[in-house]
Amino acid sequence: MIHTQQLTRTFESGKETVEAVRGIDLDVAEGELVAFLGPNGAGKSTTLRMLTSLLPPTSGTATVAGIDVTADPAGVRSRIGYIGQKDGAGHNYRVWDELLMQGRFYGLDKQRATERADELLGTLDLEGMKMRKVSTLSGGQKRRLDIALGLIHEPALLFLDEPSTGMDPQNRANLWDHILRLREEFGTTIVLTTHYLEEADTMAERVVVIDHGRIIADDTAEALKAEQAGDRITVTVSADDLPTTREVVGQAGTEVEEVPADGCAAISFRVDAGPVALPRVLHALGDKGVAVNAATLKQPTLDDVFLNLTGRSLREGAEA
Amino acid sequence: MSTITDSAATSARMARSSLLGDIKAVWTRETLTILRDPFSLIFSLIQPLVFLGLFAPLLAGVADDGLGFGSTLQFFLPGVVVMITMFGTSMTGANLQFEIMTGAFERILATPLARQALLIGRALKELTPLVVQALIITLVAVPFGFDLYPAHIVLGLLILGVFGVGVGALSYALAIATRKNEWAFWAVQQSLLFPLLILSGMMLPLETGPDWMQALSKVNPLTYIVDAERVLFSGTFDDSAVVYGIVAALVTCAVGLWVGVRTVTKSIL
């Protein structure tokens, strides 16, 4: 569906040249659900804009839905759907008018556009909103209308730029229901950008981590977490049991760290499959007569992955 | 339900889309704002009438040439038609700026519509009520001694239409260039609009003005438009002013579209 080679984009800002995207090689197969994850300014949106032909690349090539973005941008645009960060629907328009016009922009005839608009109002829970002015819709309704607009021509490939930014958790979950259903029913290939870790973690099957205009990791969330961070077990034992514990832990895991406290110590270590390893370690310690005071298992998040890759946190509020 | 074949059929329909079809589609969407809110149209119709009704009698008093009010109207009315065209089309970008801000423009950019169609369709939308306005003020002026030449007026409006698309496209480019600060759009639009209007001899004749004003008016494309409209509204086709007017309109249109399309493809919203 997507194939890029050394896709690059620089911007001239005064006398400075900003390299927003520095040589991205990416392949996305049909039916994949891919999330571009990275901090603000990492180059996610710029990459998306080049893939959707909204921005010409400075160098490199990109083939999207079988078409070269530089050679035939309009051809690319007619085969993809794009849902931007802001409201797609014009505030001064009626919902129905915008849907029909969008159909016309994609070359649908009136009958087909009407059918599609009706279908989409139904699937996106917007029935009864037909004659409403867009500016009077709620945030969640506007977002669903944006999705309807992006799907009017049944694209096989859909791009979403920060689809759930600013939405409350309930609306976000609702949005994802719609996106996932779309994929299940039509096998739509979906590429989205996000800086919400949980979103990339739970929804996307493949996470492409982008930082400073480069892809720094590309795999399933599970694999990224296992490779880049791993599960960590922490057991707290009394100071007397420390030597025995060290011995057991040394065999069970790696990257052992000790935090001594008053009369006891917390030993943490990395294991491959935390939920399986934890009972085994506890059992082994019990067999050797160690009384474990407390045990915790921490499974990594994508933030740990990002932290491990870049030394920085992706959490909101954390300075990138 | 939808299948792959459906999508293939959709693509086939898309392939047939033409520039003209795209322009019509953009124009239709823009015109919906007028259709859904006719008060704005009614209000905009009153404005040139007020201007004509209040200004022309004054001008008749100043330029007492003994030929009466009808003659003043003959001079002044084409100028008013040009003025409302300039007012309308130079504001094309203001509506665009709102849609850049909310995000609708980006969505439309992501559709396969031809870039020129985005500019032309929007400019034509601003011209649509102007045609109605021009016809109304012309008809209103007839009982006051204004001579009506329908065929000439049609050509006059066509020239204005071509010119207006150029002005609209420039306004569009200005809106994109100033998208980060709205006031800059208005500052540039206003500070260009009035000098251009005055230096075209639209409101008052320039023959009595100082040399520097006359020199400036020679390089103002609007001058040639106003002159052509005056000649046409007075019922003459056979005049070099008409040719100059057509050339000025075509050049403005070409420059406007070139600048506009360049701005759309180069800018990052």
Nearest CA in chain A to B102: A87
Same structural domain for residues A115 and A96?
Answer: yes
CATH at A241 = 3.30.70.260
Same structural domain for residues A182 and A253?
Answer: no
Distance CA A120, CA A152 (A): 8
Same structural domain for residues A82 and A106?
Answer: yes
Of the candidates A99, A103, A147, A144, which has an alpha carbon nearest to the alpha carbon of residue A126?
A: A144
Distance CA B83, CA B197 (A): 7
CATH at A81 = 3.40.50.300
Q: Specify if A39 maps to a domain.
A: yes
Q: Specify if A319 maps to a domain.
A: no
Give residue-wise pLDDT tens across range A95-107: 999 999 999 999 9
Is B235 a residue whose pLDDT tops 60?
Answer: yes
Q: Specify if A312 maps to a domain.
A: no
Q: Specify if A311 maps to a domain.
A: no
Is B186 a residue whose pLDDT tops 70?
Answer: yes
Same structural domain for residues A190 and A55?
Answer: yes
Integer CA distances (angstroms), B47 to A8, B50, B88, B168, in order: 52, 5, 12, 20
Amino acid A120: pLDDT:
92
Cα A10 to chain centroid, rounded: 24
Q: Of the given ranges (A193-202, B56-65, B84-93), which has the lowest mean pLDDT? A: B56-65
Q: Specify if A63 maps to a domain.
A: yes
With contacts defined as CB-CB under 8 Å, which chain B residues touch A95?
none
Amino acid A316: pLDDT:
57
Decide if A82 and B32 are in contact by the 8 Å CB cutoff: no
Tell me the residue range of the domain where A28 lies.
Answer: 2-226
How does the average pLDDT of chain B come out, rounded?
84
Is B267 a residue whose pLDDT tops 80?
Answer: no
Enter the DSSP assignment of A133.
Answer: B
Nearest to B110 among A75, A77, A86 (CB): A77
Same structural domain for residues A239 and A156?
Answer: no
With contacts defined as CB-CB under 8 Å, which chain A residues touch B103?
84-88
Same structural domain for residues A39 and A151?
Answer: yes
In the block, tokens 């420059």 appear at B255
What ipTM score was computed for the predicted complex, to two decimals? 0.82
Same structural domain for residues A116 and A25?
Answer: yes
Look at chain B and count its residues. 269
- Domain final residue, candidates A226, A253, A283: A226
Q: Specify if A26 maps to a domain.
A: yes
Min distance B78 CA to chain A CA atoms (Å): 33
Of the candidates B239, B234, B254, B106, which has an alpha carbon nearest to the alpha carbon of residue B167?
A: B254
With contacts defined as CB-CB under 8 Å, which chain A residues touch B16?
107
Give residue-wise pLDDT tens across range A135-163: 999 888 898 999 999 999 999 999 999 88
Nearest CA in chain B to A75: B112
Average pLDDT, stretch B172-194? 90
Amino acid B17: pLDDT:
63
Nearest CA in chain A to B266: A55
Average pLDDT, stretch B174-180? 89
Instruction: Tell me, yes or no, if A109 comes closer than 8 A to chain B by beta carbon.
Output: yes
Q: Which residue would you say has higher pLDDT here, B37 or B235? A: B235
Same structural domain for residues A200 and A161?
Answer: yes
Nearest to B104 among A77, A87, A108 (CB): A87
With contacts defined as CB-CB under 8 Å, which chain A residues touch B31?
none
Q: Specify if A316 maps to a domain.
A: no
Same structural domain for residues A236 and A219?
Answer: no
Number of Cβ pairs closer than 8 Å across A and B? 101
Decide if A101 and B29 are in contact by the 8 Å CB cutoff: yes
Instruction: Tell me, yes or no, if A86 comes closer than 8 A to chain B by beta carbon.
Output: yes
Q: Specify if A317 maps to a domain.
A: no
Name beta bridge partners: A67. A64
Decide if A106 and B14 are in contact by the 8 Å CB cutoff: yes
Question: Structural domain tally of chain A?
Answer: 2
Amino acid A313: pLDDT:
81
**Which of A12, A30, A49, A92 should be substituted to probe chain B, the one whose Cβ sees the most B Cβ atoms within 10 Å?**
A92
